């Protein structure tokens, strides 16, 4: 089964493979070849493929009620909102269908917050090398010129600061008026798997409190257990953002995003301010509820922390003597192996060897294995990836000296 057709818009440079079946951390292509999935559909399928509890939830709800409308009550949506509020400490939830849509809701909340303060032209501070999505507002917020190119004029109202730099935020506070919010990822995923420096999020919180800004976290990639806490901000005890966006791991593959708000941001939206036809329908909410049940029942948040440490330690040991490996960083099961050279080629090499990985920011191998990885699968990933890197580097060296 090929995806080659002139009827798809060519928005992706696709790898030459089509998967037709999955189970746990393995995928099978249309020729029957098996692959180890260390990417999870880019941080989505945290419970792996064809998880029996997820399949059962989908089947049960599909046979009961898939969609009504947000003009009616949706019991599974209310139940999921309560559950998300309980594990995050946030106060209210809006459901959409994607990470970008969740961030759009965050940005709209910041604009309403500005109106409440009597600010007509508000500014939101966003970061260099960030990624927030591909809609018009979220691509403007994203710190990557290549993603913005061709779509000008960009949505205005964003100021940019270097990631992890509290002094830069303070400088903006002193030189700019009408700032209302900071939007930041606890770990920059697309930007090269960059964890926030120790104390950074706490520092952002303090500045937001001092200047009455909303602290808005994009946890689309970091949320739902991936970093070894339910949410990335929970690595700093006692911290709570005002707004947080989620998607990816929340639905294990069914499209769901969520924007959560707390305190002064929790009641900003009023009827008519925002909406979504599909957002939070009974099917996706029941599935997301089941995702949270399984993660809790099987202790997968702690497991993500342990597996992440195991993989990072394993790779550090296996690659200790490899000079081209600059550092191995990340949090939980969001892991980056930083090379001293562009390494996009490794994605195809790994694919040919039956291993799914990603390269981001040009020279960072990004690993996003599912939370249900066994220790044996973690060790297999370490051994296979280390061998691939070493072989590829050896070939590169040979080519250079030839
Ligand atoms: C941090 C972050 N925010 C937002 C998005 C956009 O999410 P979506 O593709 O679901 O719109 C992504 C996707 O990679 C992401 O990593």
Q: In three state form, how does the secondary structure of 279-323 look?
A: CCCHHHHHHHHHHHHHHHHCCHHHHHHHHHHHHHHHHHHHCCCCC
Residue 146 is part of a domain; what is its CATH number? 3.40.640.10
The rounded Å distance from CA 294 to ligand 1 centre is 23
CB 142 within 8 A of CB 131: yes
Residue at which a domain ends, from 297, 319, 342: 297
Ligand 1 pocket mutation, candidates 106, 132, 223, 336, criterion most atoms within 8 A of CB: 132
Q: Are residues 233 and 317 in the same domain?
A: no
| Residue 7 in domain | no
Backbone angles phi, psi at 82, to 5 degrees: -60, -40
Ligand 1 pocket mutation, candidates 185, 248, 330, criterion most atoms within 8 A of CB: 248
Q: Are residues 40 and 79 in the same domain?
A: no
Q: Which helix (H) or strand (E) holds 346?
A: helix 345-352
Q: Are residues 37 and 82 in the same domain?
A: no
Tokens at residue 191, please? Answer: 């930007």
Q: Are residues 115 and 157 in the same domain?
A: yes
The alpha-helical segments, DSSP class H, found in 24-175 are 40-43, 52-62, 75-88, 99-116, 136-141, 145-148, 166-175
Ligand 1 pocket mutation, candidates 46, 105, 220, 232, criterion most atoms within 8 A of CB: 220
The rounded Å distance from CA 63 to ligand 1 centre is 30
| Residue 93 in domain | yes
Q: What is the pLDDT of residue 400?
A: 55
Ligand 1 site: residues with CB under 6 angstroms? 42, 98-100, 103, 131-133, 185, 189-190, 218, 220-221, 247
Which ligand 1 atom sits nearest the alpha carbon of residue 248?
10
Q: Are residues 203 and 152 in the same domain?
A: yes
Q: Are residues 194 and 214 in the same domain?
A: yes
Which ligand 1 atom sits nearest the alpha carbon of residue 133?
6
Q: Are residues 114 and 46 in the same domain?
A: no
Residue at which a domain ends, from 265, 297, 329: 297
For residue 62, what are the domain limits?
53-297
What total number of domains does the chain contain?
2
DSSP string, 2-42: ----TTS-------S--EEEEEBTEEEETTS-EEEESSHHH
SS3 content of the chain, % helix, strand, coil (to 5): 40, 20, 40
Does the pTM surpass 0.95? The reply is: yes
Per-residue pLDDT of the chain (402 residues; tens, 9 = 90+): 555 678 999 999 999 999 999 999 999 999 999 999 999 999 999 999 999 999 999 999 999 999 999 999 999 999 999 999 999 999 999 999 999 999 999 999 999 999 999 999 999 999 999 999 999 999 999 999 999 999 999 999 999 999 999 999 999 999 999 999 999 999 999 999 999 999 999 999 999 999 999 999 999 999 999 999 999 999 999 999 999 999 999 999 999 999 999 999 999 999 999 999 999 999 999 999 999 999 999 999 999 999 999 999 999 999 999 999 999 999 999 999 999 999 999 999 999 999 999 999 999 999 999 999 999 999 999 999 999 999 999 998 765 554
Q: Tell the residue nearest (CA) to atom 7 of ligand 1.
A: 99
Which ligand 1 atom sits nearest the alpha carbon of residue 42?
14
The residues carrying an active-site annotation are: 131, 218, 248
The rounded Å distance from CA 169 to ligand 1 centre is 24
Alpha-carbon distance of 180 to 163, in angstroms, equals 18
Ligand 1 pocket mutation, candidates 194, 247, 336, 360, criterion most atoms within 8 A of CB: 247
Q: Tell the residue nearest (CA) to atom 3 of ligand 1.
A: 132
Q: What is the pLDDT of residue 5?
A: 72
The rounded Å distance from CA 99 to ligand 1 centre is 5
Q: Are residues 219 and 144 in the same domain?
A: yes
Alpha-carbon distance of 310 to 303, in angstroms, equals 10
The rounded Å distance from CA 104 to ligand 1 centre is 11
The rounded Å distance from CA 101 to ligand 1 centre is 9
The rounded Å distance from CA 234 to ligand 1 centre is 20
- Residue 399, SS3? helix
Q: What is the pLDDT of residue 399?
A: 59
Alpha-carbon distance of 59 to 151, in angstroms, equals 41
Q: What is the pLDDT of residue 3?
A: 58
The strand pair at 123-127 and 179-184 is best described as: parallel
Q: Are residues 366 and 270 in the same domain?
A: no
Which ligand 1 atom sits nearest the alpha carbon of residue 189?
16
Residue 392 is part of a domain; what is its CATH number? 3.90.1150.10
User: Which residues does residue 48 pair with via DSSP β-bridges, in sequence order?
Assistant: none
């Amino acid at each position: 089964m090929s995806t080659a057709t002139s009827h798809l818009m060519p928005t992706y440079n696709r790898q030459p493979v089509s998967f037709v079946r999955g189970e746990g951390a393995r995928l099978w292509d249309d020729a029957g070849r098996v692959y180890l999935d260390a990417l999870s559909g880019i941080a989505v399928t945290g419970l792996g493929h064809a998880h029996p509890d997820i399949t059962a939830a989908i089947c049960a709800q599909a046979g009961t009620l898939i969609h009504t409308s947000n003009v009616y009550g949706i019991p599974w949506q209310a139940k999921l909102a309560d559950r998300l509020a309980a594990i995050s400490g946030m106060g209210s939830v809006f459901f959409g269908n994607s990470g970008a849509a969740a961030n759009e809701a965050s940005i709209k909340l910041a604009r309403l917050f500005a109106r409440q303060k009597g600010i007509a032209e508000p500014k939101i501070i966003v970061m260099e090398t960030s990624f927030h999505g591909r809609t018009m507002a979220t691509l403007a917020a994203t710190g990557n010129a290549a993603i913005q190119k061709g779509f000008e004029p960009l949505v205005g109202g964003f100021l940019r600061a270097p990631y992890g730099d509290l002094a830069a935020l303070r400088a903006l506070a002193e030189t700019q008026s009408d700032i209302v919010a900071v939007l930041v990822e606890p770990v920059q995923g697309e930007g090269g798997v960059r964890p926030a420096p120790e104390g950074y999020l706490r520092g952002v919180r303090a500045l937001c409190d001092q200047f009455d800004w909303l602290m808005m976290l994009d946890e689309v990639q970091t949320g739902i257990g991936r970093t070894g806490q339910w949410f990335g901000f929970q690595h700093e005890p006692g911290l709570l953002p005002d707004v947080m966006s989620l998607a990816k791991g929340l639905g294990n593959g069914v499209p769901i995003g969520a924007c959560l708000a707390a305190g002064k941001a929790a009641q900003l939206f009023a009827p008519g301010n925002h909406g979504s036809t599909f957002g939070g329908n009974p099917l996706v909410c029941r599935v997301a509820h089941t995702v949270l049940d399984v993660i809790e029942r099987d202790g997968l948040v702690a497991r993500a922390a342990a597996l992440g440490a195991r993989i990072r330690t394993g790779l550090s040991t296996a690659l200790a003597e490899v000079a081209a490996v600059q550092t191995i960083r990340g949090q939980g099961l969001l892991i980056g192996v930083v090379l001293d050279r562009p390494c996009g080629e490794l994605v195809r090499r790994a694919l040919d060897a039956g291993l799914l990985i990603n390269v981001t920011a040009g020279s960072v191998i990004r690993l996003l294995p599912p939370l249900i990885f066994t220790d044996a699968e973690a060790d297999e990933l370490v051994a296979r990836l280390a061998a691939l890197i070493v072989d590829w580097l050896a070939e590169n060296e040979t080519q250079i000296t030839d």
